[in-house]
Structure 1
Amino acid sequence: MKFTIDKHEKYVIIQPHVELLDGDTAPKIKSEFLLQNTGGQRNIVLDLSHVLDADSTGLRTVLLAHRLCKAAGGVFIVTHANDPIKKLITVCNLDAVLSIVSDNIGAEDVIFMTEIEKELRGAVEEG
């Protein structure tokens, strides 16, 4: 399975080049989430531009990435999710758990706002 990894200072974008995020492809993405997270990345963006659909295995992998980022004090964001994927997320009542934004620029905005909030809270707690 092919995917693109685009590393930035505060986050990494992982973009799978598959049409279906399922039991065959999800383990490879899961490995990459774990590798990035243990390598110090606490903010991960999953760009679903090429993904047309997902199943429960793919969704569990997305939830794992969310938990990894949250445990590290970061955020996990899904971008470019199409309507079938958004519907699956909603049907599974995960739309309140997962951060879904339309594009990578929106994800970057969320990440930087979260980082600023953490810095401000740290400054208030110190003061």
Structure 2
Amino acid sequence: MKYSVDKKEQYVVFTPQEEKLDSALSPKLKSELLTVHAEGYHNLILDMSHVKYADSSGLSALLVGNREFNREGGIFVIATPQEHVMKLIKISMLDKVFNIVDTLEEAAEAIFMHTIKSGDTEEEEEEG
């Protein structure tokens, strides 16, 4: 799977550079999203501008990312989804679950606003 990762101070922009997000690529996407999260990033923008097609396994990978980044108070934002992908998200009624924006600028703003709302409540004292 080809992709790029742009690490900023507050978030990571993850850009799959593939046209299809299907069962062949979804396990790799899940793995990469989990890796970014494990590196200590709490906020992620998934730039979907190259992805023209997704199936249910692709949506499953997005749900894993969404759950993982939201679990500890972070935010998972899907930016620039193509028409087909957006239709699938709406049909699946996941547009109510995901944070979806039209541009990377809006995604960065959503993360900024989320950070302000959540304040400095970074409780990284995980014991266990």
- Per the normalisation by structure 2, the TM-score is 0.91
**Equivalent residue of 1:105, what SS?**
helix
Q: How far off is 1:72 after superposition? A: 1.8
Letter in 1 for 2:71: A
Q: How far off is 1:60 after superposition? A: 0.3
| Identity within the alignment, % | 39
Q: How many residues align?
A: 122
CA RMSD after TM alignment: 1.4
Larger proportion of helix: 1
Matched, 1:109 2:106: no
Moved over 4 A (4+): none
Separation of aligned partners in 1, 2:27 and 2:80: 21
Separation of aligned partners in 2, 1:55 and 1:24: 10
Structure 2 unaligned regions, length at least 5 = 123-128
- Per the normalisation by structure 1, the TM-score is 0.92
Corresponding position of 2:125 = none
CA displacement, residues 23-79 of structure 1 (integer Å, 9 cap, x when unaligned): 111111111110011111111111011110100000000000000011121110111
Report if the CA contact (8 A) 2:52-2:83 is conserved: no
Corresponding position of 1:58 = 58
Corresponding position of 1:34 = 34
**Equivalent residue of 1:10, what SS?**
coil
Q: How far off is 1:121 after superposition? A: 8.0
